[in-house]
Amino acid sequence: MNREALASLVLAAGLLVVPLIALGLDDPFIVTLATKVAILALAGAGLNLALGFGGLVSFGHAAFFGLGGYAASILASHALNYEPVFVWPFEISGTTSMPVIWLVAMVAGAIAAAAIGALSLRTGGVYFIMITLAFAQMIYYFAISWPAYGGEDGLSIYVRDSFPGLNTLDPLQFFLICYVVLMVALAFCFVLTRSRFGLALQAARQNATRLAAVGIEPFGIRLMAFAISGAITALAGALYADLNRFVSPAMLNWHTSGEIMVFVILGGVGRIFGPVAGAALYIVLEHNLGGLTEYWQLPLGLLLLAVVLYARGGILGLVSRQVRHG
Amino acid sequence: MTGALIAEQVLNGLQLGVMLFLMASGLTLVFGVMGLINLAHGSLYMVGAFACAAVAKATGSFWLGLAASLIGAAAAGALVEIAVIRRLYDRDHLDQVLATFALILVFSEATRWYFGSQPLYLSVPPLLAGPVMLPGGIEYPLYRLALIVAGLVVAAGLFVLIAKTRLGIRIRAGESDREMIAALGVDIAGLYTIVFALGAALAGLAGALVGTIQSVQVGMGEPVLILAFVVIVIGGIGSIKGALVGALLVGLTDTLGRFLLPIAFSSFMDASSATSVGSALASMAIYVLMAGVLVFRPSGLFGQAT
Amino acid sequence: MVEPVLSVIDLSKRFGALAASDHVNLDLMQGEIHALIGPNGAGKSTLINQITGAIRHDSGSIRFEGQEIGNLSVAERARLGLARTFQVSSLAPEFTVLQNVVLAVQAASGHVFRFFRPVLTDAWLVEPALGYLEQTGLKERSGVRTADLSHGEKRQLEIAVALALKPKAFLLDEPMAGMGPEGSKQLTGFLDGLRTEAPILLVEHDMDAVFSLADRISVLVYGRVIATGSVEEIRANEEVRRAYLGEEAA
């Protein structure tokens, strides 16, 4: 087993064991932190598919994260007041069932990503970064100025959404839901990157000219990857809204896009467990530095600068001591 | 709705447009010459605004504050270029995005730590206070009019600088062929620092000028940065002319959209929902404009086709 | 009369004042190697790029197997059976040698949007890929990262990828570039046998290779085809000699 696989196993086990121990020590706050790590890692896993494997530097993934969050909150709030979300062209009524909410969130994320991708993938490089950022900001401003779902103030979920057979209000059970979803998503990414589609996607990153010369349109491959990526990040957004029982435009803000990107880079770009390592480190830093100083983003910024300038490859890159494989 | 009201909104749009040009021209210059995408450009805008506010408060003179914004932002720009940015020219865009995102965190937190979270306020200098009567009976704030004039003067100066001066020739040479200017014996590292500091000074100036009519606070730079990105995508990356046209288009679209859309919706909706629907859609107008440009000209109005 | 596999008809392309292709006519018949030669800057690579679709021509037409392909994308033309190699090797550098060929095999099979089955355990893809590597003498190197290959090995891999597309015509842009005399000789022998699989449009500077391989030669100078003919005809052509001597005198 290579070092990256070993490190991944340690991460997977650690994320499961830490909250169990914490619960034994009667420290439920750690369980909440671990839940947050799992959800943010899931958001990062979505971005990693586009950015790490497809080379698509999206600075707009907050859009999908936020859309997932709003999907969850809007469905839940309509379930509470018994008004359908809309009646035309078909009726959608509110729900508090997590699986349904997840499905809606993922479809919303995939559609938004396909629309943004169809426009932004017409160009490449630095245009792509700016355009994804701009469209995400458009959705952010829309959420602020559209009063129906709380506008600037956001929208609360009064009862945590339900999952058949589980008590989602129990922190451990909710954590386990998030953990399992994360592991399924990571397994999906692992399989995907080794499939025919994954091979073409990684070829698009390394050499799009070559990909076209063998007869595969890079545009279609990238668009599909971007849509899948948006769906996964939207799923994370739905879980995040449930964790906080609240959603606000802040989830859609450009700063969130930057943070999701930071998870991916800190952990290791294009490595399946990279976002888990990155999100865990981020939460640990936020928790510990944040306890020391309210200006904790200053050392975070310096650390990030040091990683970019001197430690390319992130945590898993350091651990596995090798250049990223294809 | 009167003609005077529309004229006033057009002027507001122009004012937003020229200020966006000050931001976008620096971004596009830095990208054109050094191939760098700089997210921290909004931080330099903030530095300019804070430098102006601090000096104006200490000395009582807005004009000294304005000078401080230029000098402070240029110095901050030069410092950051030498310490960090020049290590990024050979890196891919992802590294540039991350490193400059990290710089935003550092700039914002350092500013919050030094100045606190409360916004600062700048007041309009007495010379430019009060309204002015324009031909056609339009009453308009003198300061805003001065912003339009100042922005257009700086834009003209920038075009002259690039077209006529020795520095401009080197900048243009740097855009087309980096090895060439190195072969001609131009000090590239020095040129890059100057270009970056020039862009920073323009951003800082914009921050000070706009900070006077809004408020000076941490985080003020990023919304403007993102608008400047929209401007550059519309105009074409690397083109100063594109930045000017894009900035005016965005400024006018945004301002007139916010003014006209609620009015348009009120013709078939009740007033309060027309206002909310209209303003929600108006907030999206410039992005729709950007999407439209992308459909027909993926490399922007004045960009080189890739 | 036999229809050519590929025909370029009255093709023109200008970059500003420079005519990169000036009313070029060229065709490629079944079973032949048609060499395209000319001094540096004559527009050979630009012509190849117009045929593959990487550069759009201004006027004229490109027909492939009786079909106009001038409006198709690079990938669409490749799917019809136009396989090219690049003057400067253009492969996926982080992939292994095998992955690069498997990519081409799966592209030729037409099924790309498959998300679950791992490619490297799919015998339908790996077996043929290993076959093409064996044919080009790279089988032992199949597990090596492409970036770590020698220059000559990258040239061989370019050919293996082109083979894997099972094309109806090859466009080879200076396949010998940067190879030693021994490598060139081997490759010449290999290409000699390749013409039975599909005809080859060969851009090459190595005149020994061109004269030993080509059934026909076209000479491109300043974007214009100044002569097309058999090896003997081209050797005897006054205008060709002048163009080359002029090039050397300058």
**What whole-number distance in Å separates Cα of residue A189 and Cα of residue A326?**
14
Q: Residue C115: list chain A partners with CB under 8 A.
A: 191-192, 195-198
Q: Does the pLDDT value for residue B306 go beyond 70?
A: no
Q: What is the ipTM of this complex?
A: 0.90
**What whole-number distance in Å separates Cα of residue C228 and Cα of residue B286?**
56
Read off the pLDDT of residues C67-96 as tens digits, 9 standing for 90 and up: 999 999 999 999 999 999 998 889 999 999
**What whole-number distance in Å separates Cα of residue B42 and Cα of residue B232?**
14
Dihedral sign for Cα C99, C104, C105, C107, please. positive
Question: What mean pLDDT is predicted for residues C106-121?
Answer: 89
The residues spanned by each domain of chain C are: 1-81+167-250, 91-166
Residue A52: DSSP 8-state: I
Residue whose C-alpha is closest to residue B51's, from B118, B3, B133, B115: B115
Contact criterion met (CB < 8 Å) for A254 and B279? no
Contact criterion met (CB < 8 Å) for B283 and A135? no
Which residue among C95, C113, C161 places its CB closest to the CB of A214?
C161
Contact criterion met (CB < 8 Å) for A254 and B99? no
DSSP string, A90-153: S-B----BHHHHHHHHHHHHHHHHHHHHHHHTTS-HHHHHHHHHHHHHHHHHHHHH-GGGTGGG
User: Counting every residue, how long is chain B?
Assistant: 306
Q: Does the pLDDT value for residue C246 go beyond 60?
A: no
CATH code assigned at A163:
1.10.3470
In a domain, A236, yes or no: yes
Mean pLDDT of chain B: 89
Q: What does the pLDDT read at residue C249? A: 41
Q: How would you class C13 by CB atoms within 10 Å of its CB: exposed for 0-12, middle for 13-18, buried for 19 or more?
A: buried
Are the beta carbons of A72 and A238 closer than 8 angstroms? yes
Name the percent of chain B lying above pLDDT 90: 54
Nearest CA in chain B to A314: B95
Are the beta carbons of B87 and A309 closer than 8 angstroms? yes
Q: Does the pLDDT value for residue B178 go beyond 70?
A: no
Q: What is the C-alpha R_g of chain B?
A: 20
User: Counting every residue, how long is chain A?
Assistant: 326
User: Number of folded domains in chain B?
Assistant: 1
Contact criterion met (CB < 8 Å) for C165 and A215? yes
Contact criterion met (CB < 8 Å) for C107 and A216? yes
B121 phi, psi to nearest 5 deg: -125, 140
Please, which residues 9-28 of chain B have a Cβ atom closer than 8 Å to chain A?
A: none
Residue whose C-alpha is closest to residue B205's, from B35, B20, B29, B57: B20
Contact criterion met (CB < 8 Å) for C112 and A197? yes
Contact criterion met (CB < 8 Å) for A191 and C115? yes
In a domain, B285, yes or no: no
Other CB atoms closer than 10 Å to residue C239's CB: what's the count? 11
Q: What does the pLDDT read at residue B56? A: 92
Q: In the structure encoding, which two tokens stand for residue A250, read together?
A: 């802040």
Domain span at residue B11 reads: 3-219
Are the beta carbons of B266 and B274 closer than 8 angstroms? yes
Q: Does A206 touch chain C (CB under 8 A)?
A: yes
Contacts of A215 (CB under 8 A, 6+ apart): C75, C76, C78, C79, C107, C108, C165
Residue whose C-alpha is closest to residue C70's, from C59, C82, C81, C80: C59
Q: Does A212 touch chain C (CB under 8 A)?
A: yes
Q: Residue C75: list chain A partners with CB under 8 A.
A: 211-213, 215-218
Name the percent of chain B lying above pLDDT 70: 96
Q: What does the pLDDT read at residue A165? A: 85
Q: Does A27 touch chain C (CB under 8 A)?
A: no
Q: Does the pLDDT value for residue C128 go beyond 60?
A: yes
Q: Which of B39, B80, B90, B94 to mutate to test the interface with A (most CBs of A within 10 A)?
A: B94
**Better-scored residue on pLDDT, B60 or A107:** A107
Q: How would you class C160 by CB atoms within 10 Å of its CB: exposed for 0-12, middle for 13-18, buried for 19 or more?
A: buried
For tokens 């690579």, what's the residue? C45
Domain span at residue A151 reads: 3-320
C250 pLDDT tier (thresholds 50, 70, 90): very low
Which residue among C54, C103, C115 places its CB closest to the CB of A192?
C115
Nearest CA in chain B to A262: B98
SS3 state at B209 = helix
Which residue among A131, A147, A304 places its CB closest to the CB of B102?
A304
What's the per-residue H, E or C state across B108-168? HHHHHHHHCCCCECCCCCHHHCCEEEECCCEEEEHHHHHHHHHHHHHHHHHHHHHHHCHHH
Beta strands in C132-246 (DSSP E): 169-173, 200-203, 216-221, 224-229
CA atoms within 13 A on the CB side of A97: 9
In a domain, B103, yes or no: yes
In a domain, B164, yes or no: yes
Helix axes B62-83, B41-59, angle to 10 degrees: 140
In a domain, B257, yes or no: no
Contact criterion met (CB < 8 Å) for A213 and C120? no
Q: Does B272 touch chain A (CB under 8 A)?
A: no
Q: In the structure encoding, which two tokens stand for residue B268, read together?
A: 């078939």
CATH number among 3.40.50.300, 3.10.310.30, 1.10.3720.10, 3.40.50.1980, domain C1-81+167-250: 3.40.50.300
Contact criterion met (CB < 8 Å) for A216 and C75? yes
Q: Does A262 touch chain B (CB under 8 A)?
A: yes
Contacts of A254 (CB under 8 A, 6+ apart): A59, A62, A133, A136, A137, A140, B222, B226
Read off the pLDDT of residues C212-224 as tens digits, 9 standing for 90 and up: 999 999 999 989 9
C75 phi, psi to nearest 5 deg: -65, -40
Q: How close is the nearest chain B Cα to the Cα of A290, in Å?
A: 13
Alpha helices in chain B (DSSP H): 3-34, 41-59, 62-83, 93-115, 142-164, 166-176, 178-183, 188-213, 221-235, 240-266, 271-282, 285-296
Host H or E run for residue A35: helix A28-48
Which residue among A192, A206, A224 places its CB closest to the CB of C92?
A206
Residue whose C-alpha is closest to residue A5's, from A202, A273, A314: A273
Name the percent of chain C lying above pLDDT 70: 97
Residue C136 CA, chain-centre distance (Å), reads 16
Q: Does the pLDDT value for residue B136 go beyond 50?
A: yes
Q: Does B33 touch chain A (CB under 8 A)?
A: no
Are the beta carbons of A157 and A247 closer than 8 angstroms? yes
Residue A292 CA, chain-centre distance (Å), reads 28
What are the average pLDDT values for consecutive 10-residue runs of chain A, which has 326 residues?
86 92 87 96 97 95 97 89 75 84 96 95 87 92 86 84 87 94 97 96 95 95 98 98 93 95 91 95 90 86 90 81 50
| Cross-strand bridge partners of residue B138 | B134
Q: Does B123 touch chain A (CB under 8 A)?
A: no
Which residue among A210, A212, A224 places its CB closest to the CB of C91?
A210
Host H or E run for residue A19: helix A3-24
Q: What does the pLDDT read at residue B32? A: 85
Q: Does the pLDDT value for residue B305 go beyond 90?
A: no
Beta strands in A114-268 (DSSP E): 155-156, 246-247
In a domain, B299, yes or no: no
C26 pLDDT tier (thresholds 50, 70, 90): very high
pTM, to two decimals: 0.91
Q: How would you class B157 by CB atoms within 10 Å of its CB: exposed for 0-12, middle for 13-18, buried for 19 or more?
A: exposed
Residue whose C-alpha is closest to residue C157's, from C197, C187, C123: C187
**What whole-number distance in Å separates Cα of residue B125 and Cα of residue C221?**
69
User: Number of folded domains in chain A?
Assistant: 1
Q: Residue A216: list chain C partners with CB under 8 A.
A: 75, 103, 107, 112
Q: Residue A191: list chain C partners with CB under 8 A.
A: 115-116, 118
In a domain, A326, yes or no: no
In a domain, A325, yes or no: no
B165 pLDDT tier (thresholds 50, 70, 90): confident
* b/e sequence A261-287, b meaning 16+ C-beta within 10 Å: bbbbbbbbbbbbbbbbbbbbbbbebbe
SS3 state at A86 = strand
Chains touching A (at least 3 CB pairs under 8 A) are B, C
Q: Residue C107: list chain A partners with CB under 8 A.
A: 200, 214-216
Chain C positions contacting chain A at CB under 8 Å are 52, 54, 73-76, 78-79, 83-84, 86, 90-96, 99, 102-104, 106-108, 111-120, 125, 145, 161, 165
Q: In the structure encoding, which two tokens stand for residue A184, read together?
A: 């399924």
Q: Residue C111: list chain A partners with CB under 8 A.
A: 196
Q: How close is the nearest chain A Cα to the Cα of C249, in Å?
A: 37
**What whole-number distance in Å separates Cα of residue C82 and Cα of residue C71?**
15
